[in-house]
Amino acid sequence: MLVVTEKRYRKSLGTFELVSLGVGGTIGSGIFVVPGIAAGIAGPSSLLAWLIVAISASCVMLSFAWSSSRYPSTGAFYSIIAKGFNKKISSAVVILYMVSSVFGNATIAAGIGQYISFFGIKNVIPIEVLIIFGFCALNVRGVSLSGTTENILTTLKTVPLIILAILLIPFIHLSNFTPFYPSGNMDFLKAIIIIYWTFTGFEICAIPADETKGKDIIFRSLIFVMVIVISVYALLNISLIGSVGSVALALSPAPVATASGLVFAESEKLIAVIGIIAMLSALNAYMLGTSRVIQNISGELKVPLFRNISTQGTPVSATILTAILSSILLLFSNHFNELASISVITTLLPYLFICMATYKIFEARKIRLVACAGALTTAAILVISFMP
């Protein structure tokens, strides 16, 4: 029986592991599901929404990178917001992010189920729950194992996506981009909130700061993550809409698999498998990140049990709690759109506070301008999300 005591995290993560966690947490269920949803909402003009979100997320990422480099700690959010504001505000924001992360786990699991149903399996919830607890067990074993797993899964999903996007380029037809505004000129704004889901998760690579081999690697890891994510998303979305068309994408629950099948015969199942691998990678990253956030805030608030770290250097109780809460959410709602929207809204508020805290912490004009841009765009997107 595992005895849980007050221990320290183990420094097992290097730059490659952190980048894998960041890319793994970001490129997950979103890119395999959201392009179809966004195309259904706004047609080709959904590309504008992807651009706006990329700019906003980049500003948040840079703010987070600067602040987490100055105040590195497990959980990241608490120390940054506490320095910019105070401990009470920081605790409230971190608890909100914790809620968002749990919804994120459930959203990813729902996305996995959506792609599993592509193979004709109807009752996917038990499979989703089993997968959640499988990654719970993996993370309990130690960060080294979960980090290695993330390296493998992230490579297995990112490389095929880039290859697919490149192979689709010769099939792009300019006619698929017209009419650019199929319904109304501002419809792309309605797609922003669901698209933002695909960009959340980059901060996971900064959360396990006490488990990194050198805290100076956090900044460059975040930069690498955002460059990779934006490049893959831009290339893939242009290729998908250009080669298949927004109508075909919108009609499919697994748009990337459908797009591949329309252009390359008999490839739908292969892409569906890659989609599942991508979501498994994201689930592993979210499980790791969520458990550290729960452990960190439990330590700050002196909550027994969940603040403890095991002899293996992992927050066992926090990891198990993450799995239980995520599974319960799936029993109440297994709808990707609902879970993703709640996850994004509850993530954007912590992002907003990160930008505002960065503005207060730093005096350099460049940093303040970026932090201000991140705060304003994040606030605007939050307002748009509540518009009818």
pLDDT of residue 361: 93
Domain ranges of the chain: 12-385
Q: What residues pair up with 5 in beta bridges, in sequence order?
A: 309
Residue predicted with more confidence, 219 or 335: 219
Q: Are 249 and 39 in contact (CB under 8 A)?
A: yes
State the CATH architecture for 12-385: Up-down Bundle (1.20)
Lowest mean pLDDT among 44-58, 237-251, 322-336: 322-336
Q: What is the pTM of this model?
A: 0.87
pLDDT of residue 209: 82
Torsion of CA 72, 74, 76, 82, to 10 degrees: -90
Q: Are 331 and 28 in contact (CB under 8 A)?
A: no
Q: Which two tokens stand for residue 292?
A: 């550290």
pLDDT of residue 188: 83
Distant-in-sequence, close-in-space partners of 231: CB < 8 Å, separation ≥ 6:
none
List pLDDT tens digits, range 272-289. Answer: 788 889 889 989 999 999
List pLDDT tens digits, range 293-338. Answer: 898 888 888 888 888 888 888 899 999 999 999 999 887 766 666 6
Distant-in-sequence, close-in-space partners of 303: CB < 8 Å, separation ≥ 6:
297
